[in-house]
Every structure is written in C-alpha cells, then in structure tokens.
Amino acid sequence: MKNNLKKLVVSAMLLAVGLVLPFLTGQLQQIGNMMLPMHLPVMLCGLICGWQYGLSVGFIMPLMRSFLFGMPAMFPNAVAMAFELASYGFIIGFLYNNARWQCIRSLYRCLIAAMLGGRAVWGLVMTALLGIGESGFTFGAFITGAFLNAIPGIIIQLVLIPMIMLALDRTHLVPMKKHGHCKVKADV
C-alpha cells in the first residue's frame, strides 16, 4: 500500500513536470518543440514507477495539456501524442522492470526500444486520424515528424534519462539490479 502511494505521488509529480516543462522549452522558438519536453517525465515515470503508471501518465498528459492550455491542439496532435506517450511509458517501464539486469546497457536498450515503438504508434495513429495519401499523413511526414524534427529531443533523452537514473541509483532512491558484466563503475 505504501509503495503504491509512493508511485502515485511520483507519477503525479512527473505529470506536473510534463505539463510545465513545455513552457520552459517553448521560450526557444526554433527548437522548443524539437526538444520533446513531455517525453522525459513519461519515460522516467515508466522507469521509476512501472509500466502501468508510465502508460497512464503518458496518455493523460497531452490531453490534459491540450485541455488546460490549448497546446498541443487536441486534434490530431494531442490525440496522437496520447497514444505515443502512453506507448513510451508502457514499453520502457515493461522492458526495464522485467529486464534480467537493470544497468546502463539495459536502460539504453529499453530506451531505444521505447523511442522506436512510440514513434511507430504515433505514425499509425496519425495515419488512422488523417488517412493516407497526399492530403493525409504521408511517409515523408512520418519520417520528418518522428525522426528529423526530433533529433534534439532524441539526443536530450539519450543523455538525460541515463544520467537521472544513475543519480537515482547512486542516492539509493531507485536502485538498479546490477549483476555480473552489467555492473556500473563508480566513475561512470
């Protein structure tokens, strides 16, 4: 019961961070949205609290942000992002928490799988919402939206998420299961 309450509180905190963080990154006009500010708290929620919480926070966050602040636009962006972020939270949480070892190598595998899986879900949902073809959602629009425009955010995720998880491990707030060849060296 106490552990579930802790996960609920951490999830609520990360949801709040996800609602506020786009205001900070939005100050950088050219690359604000490219930094993918809502992705970080969702992935951290999946890693720290588990896939159930990551999925829930990921689904709620863009819809709530659209409802409260009008950004992202509800259709199609917030709807597609709800499924995308829910996928990130689910995939990273499920893979990492069921991994044999929880170490940096395992974290990167789970992070990359979540990034690819979430982007694939976003593409499928956008296709379902907008249709296929020249006036709908094209493969070029998918590549541009999912990968090319997201390069700054992808780099930030690949750097910050492992750093945060290492810091949480070192402070023993969220310890990793390390065994054998997967041990983290003290000077990493």
Rounded Cα distance between 154 and 165, Å, is: 17
Residue 104 scores a pLDDT above 70: yes
Domain architecture of the chain: domains with CATH = 2-182 (1.10.1760.20)
Rounded Cα distance between 113 and 108, Å, is: 8
Confidence band, pLDDT 50/70/90 cuts, at residue 59: very high
pTM value > 0.75:
yes
Among 185, 168, 175, 181, smallest CA distance to 14 is for: 168
pLDDT tens per residue, range 28-42:
766 777 889 999 999
Rounded Cα distance between 182 and 118, Å, is: 26
pLDDT tens per residue, range 118-152:
999 999 999 999 987 667 788 888 888 888 889 99
